[in-house]
Amino acid sequence: MAAVATCGSVAASTGSAVATASKSNVTSFQRRGPRASVTNDSGPRLVSIAGTRPSVRNGQLLVSTGLPALDQLLGGGLAVGTVLLIEEDKYNIYSPLLFKYFLAEGIVNGHTLLVASAKEDPANILQELPAPLLDDKCKKEFDEDVYNHKTPESNIKMKIAWRYQLLPKMEIGPVSSSRFGHYYDASKRMPQELIEASNWHGFFLPEKISSTLKVEPCSLTPGYTKLLQFIQNIIYEEGFDGSNPQKKQRNILRIGIQNLGSPLWGDDICCAENGGNSHSLTKFLYVLRGLLRTSLSACIITMPTHLIQNKAIIARVTTLSDVVVGLESFIGSERETNPLYKDYHGLIHIRQIPRLNNLICDESDVKDLAFKLKRKLFTIEAEVQKGVSTATFLLDGPRKKLFPCLFQLLEVACIPWLMASSSVFKASNIGFESLCYQLSGFFSASLLHF
Amino acid sequence: MFVELNNLLNTTPDRAEQGKLTLLCDAKTDGSFLVHHFLSFYLKANCKVCFVALIQSFSHYSIVGQKLGVSLTMARERGQLVFLEGLKSAVDVVFQAQKEPHPLQFLREANAGNLKPLFEFVREALKPVDSGEARWTYPVLLVDDLSVLLSLGMGAVAVLDFIHYCRATVCWELKASILYLMQGNMVVLVHDSGDAEDEENDILLNGLSHQSHLILRAEGLATGFCRDVHGQLRILWRRPSQPAVHRDQSFTYQYKIQDKSVSFFAKGMSPAVL
């Protein structure tokens, strides 16, 4: 399989170039267009696969996460070959929604699905997928849910008024697979015929743990080992990595793993601080990423990181994943009654975005994002209204967050706050107590710098 | 390679120092641009490079290398670059039984003691070839990144031993027949976990900081994300043989990463602020 290419890199580096060029033909980590160094291939021109589009920044092949707002925040979508890690919210209410949106997007686009769970039968998970919003009659219901700045005469022409609410062109009739990113109705179920027409594989741990699937000895927990073997079998047999001569596959495999790291998978990192299997999860993630990088697949993993006792493992897991999104719901916390957050159900933190094939990545400028689950839709918005912009670029942020922006200006401009002129501190309606609190915090930080 | 960073470090590919261990460290930000810099720097300096890339795939480095002016595929073809792609090799090791010891053999074992197979691989890759003429100037080992080895089950002491063995081989080695001192360089990247209380990582970082000659530390700004200043770079030279006055020099710069280069400026002198 890939042994030829790696032996090439170990022993002699000549002659391995052609092998690797043909081997890496199926990955998406390539420039579009003809390349002079490729000799006997038909060229790594990416055949257009349903539900994918190339990134504008680096030509990377992207798939939609099922939430157009999240796609926008991630720089266009999730790159094929990468892992999206969702840090679950405390009571696991909203993370299954993101999980299901990802799978539903796969069904609508005709991708192959692989659903793995230790808690629920994958068949049941697929029954609960949200229905896609397809045709024009849903548009009116959609409009009354979504608040936008549409002027009356633009009823026909959709305007992108608010940055994170991409309104797609609504088409009459069945959804066309050339569209990237669909909207889903969380209150309705996916039609049965769409689910049955799709190609999906399920991995339910209680069933598979006792099976006699041949497994190479490995140092991971048995659940993880079996899951890795299962994923690798599917990738090989259905030809997602191009190594199977009988199968020529030009489709994406969407892998969804639910509640990874929870005790149901046989892992004890959520129970004990220094368990015996503390490296099992990180090894699993590493090998999984290796599998993804060499095949046409994308993976979503939800993980109860708030339960992991050892903080170092969370940091390692973050480094080993590509995209990390954290959900923090307001249920049960004091923020539920905070008037600032009354419209929202929780905060969404984009903790990490990968830099693939590039020195920089598309980070969004707004870091305070909140989500709300309306009657039918899951929307993501910037937390507070943008305030009046002042002269300097850094203070262009929301008005209520004036002081952190101010202190950042002082740090970047290297001005000790004591020497800043009073005009820098001109602020109209910030309370005096918050001013003192912020100043004391910054003063102690600035003592370390100067 | 970034010309501005060369100016700050006072080196060029033609007259770089030899026999040095450079430690790249990042805290709260991504320091991988430094790895790309050193990779293209040493390839341009006509060195034989062994790159142990544990965190990203070959095509990622290749595409960024093209932006920086080096072709990794060409370098690999003519034998200048030996590339160990960690992700691909891990898949081979885990799913197939290997006959001969594989550099990432420790993935199969529950309690792997040491990184000896990986060291053998590095030594084999950087062994001087008996071809008579010296094609390459000096060997260089580049590792991206060492913290991943901790995540894969190795202890901090095992990783420090591996670095020690590599340093003894790469930075000073005597060839058996000819007395030929081959002073190579090493560049390793370690993540600083900050307040994540990762003790193993702290041991590794402190141990390497004491051994290295040059430490480049990329930190995110303390006040958070900024569009125009991506972070702060601290450069620390450690010269134990010099008198105390010149021993440890430290500079701090802020930087902004662009598509093909990185611009450095003194603290507070960002073009966006001025």
Location of structure tokens 């969804």? A256
A374-422 pLDDT, tens digit each:
777 788 887 654 332 222 223 333 444 555 666 666 666 666 666 655 5
The CA-based angle A415-A421-A425, given to 5 degrees, is 95
Q: What does the pLDDT average to over A150-165?
A: 43
Q: What is the spatial distance between Cα A311 and Cα A317, in angstroms, rounded to a whole number?
A: 10
**How far is B41 from chain A, CA to nearest CA, in Å?**
16
Please count the residue pairs, one from chain A and one from chain B, whose beta carbons lie less than 8 angstroms apart.
192
Q: What is the spatial distance between Cα A242 and Cα A30, in angstroms, rounded to a whole number?
A: 15
Query: pLDDT band at B245, cuts 50/70/90?
Result: low
A290: nearest CB among B91, B153, B198: B91
A412:B86 CB<8 A: no
Q: Worst-scoring range by mean pLDDT, A27-31, A379-383, B119-123, B248-252?
A: A27-31
Give the max Cα distance, chain A.
74
Q: Which domains does chain A have, with CATH numbers?
A: 52-143+179-380 (3.40.50.300)
Mean pLDDT for chain B overall: 84
ipTM for the predicted complex comes to 0.91
Query: pLDDT band at A113, cuts 50/70/90?
Result: very high
B151:A319 CB<8 A: yes
**Residue A169, pLDDT score:** 40
A312: nearest CB among B33, B198, B270: B198
Q: What is the spatial distance between Cα B109 and Cα A10, in angstroms, rounded to a whole number?
A: 21
A367:B224 CB<8 A: yes
Choose, out of A1, A13, A31, the residue to mutate when testing the contact with B (most B CBs < 10 Å): A13
Neighbours of B254 (CB within 10 A): 25
Spatial neighbors of A200 by CB under 8 A, at least 6 apart, are A107, A112, A113, A114, A115, A122, A126
Query: pLDDT band at A103, cuts 50/70/90?
Result: very high
Q: What does the pLDDT average to over B103-122?
A: 83
B160-189 pLDDT, tens digit each:
999 999 888 887 664 444 444 557 788 888
Higher-pLDDT residue of B50 and A30 is B50
**Residue A87, pLDDT score:** 94
Is A15 exposed, middle or buried (CB count within 10 Å of its CB: 0-12, 13-18, 19+)?
exposed
A291-308 pLDDT, tens digit each:
999 999 999 999 999 998
Higher-pLDDT residue of A66 and A28 is A66
A359: nearest CB among B33, B57, B85: B33
Mean pLDDT for chain A overall: 72
Q: What is the spatial distance between Cα B210 and Cα B207, in angstroms, rounded to a whole number?
A: 5
**Residue A255, pLDDT score:** 95
Residue A38 confidence (pLDDT) above 80: no
